[in-house]
Amino acid sequence: MSKIEDQKENQVTESGTSSAATEESQETVKKARHKGFYLLPNMFTTAALFSGFYAVVASMNGHFEKAAIAIFVAMILDGLDGRVARLTNTQSEFGAQYDSLSDMVAFGMAPALVAFTWSLQSLGQVGWVASFVFVACAALRLARFNTQIDVVDKKYFIGLASPASAAIVAGMIWTYAESGVNGTDISWFAAIVVATAGILMVSNVRYTSFKDFDLKNKVPFIALISMVLIIALVSLDPARVLWVGFMIYAASGPVMMLIDKRKSS
């Protein structure tokens, strides 16, 4: 009889424990549902997402300059959401995931679709393959960044960042569209630029991240003068200056890699 009683007590204890665990899990789910999200940084992320969506719609209507500008606007907004979250101490896992999905639209799908509508569709299969390479590389680059963010040196990106890669494609479209050049006339050049920008995203080339640049620290007076000159230069011809600037940044990674190899050999 004692064994039977012990078994009954164990069953009661186990059922009580399982029911308590179930209640705790239900409470956790309820708390997660009512926890809410930070509005301010996610507003910037949503605006960046909208800019990427607008770029696609504008390109479908033949407004390629507006589409390219919208991608650059998304870059600015993407740079602000993280800084706003850190300044206001409103970082969250939801915000990080939302930002990554927004980047995929604004800096993955949007540049590829705008480039395809503007120029690459005239190449047939080659055109959509080049566009898909860019989209796939953007997805792989974002996935790698999300999983390696804690183990990679904060001063460097491994592979070209997706906003910079998108800026190369958008800058090219903006420059030639503003000059009145038909995208179909330079379709092969555009395909090479789009595919190369995509491959650089998943390469092992190191790029300076500029994340160690702190706006709250004091800087030399010459740095302020340099910023003024850069802003003045961009205002003279935004399309060409931005495109050339990001092309130089994209080339800086392979060049520094070759210099490091020569020094080590």
The two structure tokens encoding residue 68: 């390219």
The answer to whether 114 touches 55, Cβ cutoff 8 Å, is: yes
Domain-located, residue 146: yes
pLDDT at 199: 96
Q: For 202-219, how does the pLDDT look when each residue is reduced to its tens digit (9 = 90+)? A: 998 989 877 666 656 666
Q: For 219-242, how does the pLDDT look when each residue is reduced to its tens digit (9 = 90+)? A: 677 867 878 888 888 888 999 999
Domain-located, residue 19: no
The candidate with the shortest Cα–Cα distance to 152, out of 102, 201, 209, is 209
Q: For 26-37, how does the pLDDT look when each residue is reduced to its tens digit (9 = 90+)? A: 554 444 444 566
For residues 195 and 169, what is the distance between their CA atoms, to the nearest angstrom? 10
pLDDT at 216: 63
Q: For 238-254, how does the pLDDT look when each residue is reduced to its tens digit (9 = 90+)? A: 999 999 999 999 999 99
Burial class (CB in 10 A: 0-12, 13-18, 19+), 44: buried
CATH number at residue 46: 1.20.120.1760
Domain-located, residue 15: no
> What is the four-CA torsion angle of 145, 159, 79, 240, rounded to 10 degrees?
-160
Domain-located, residue 23: no
pLDDT at 3: 47
Task: Write down the pTM of the prediction.
Answer: 0.81
Range of the domain at 158: 37-264
Structurally, the chain folds into a number of domains equal to 1
Minimum mean pLDDT among 5-14, 58-67, 98-107, 238-247: which range?
5-14
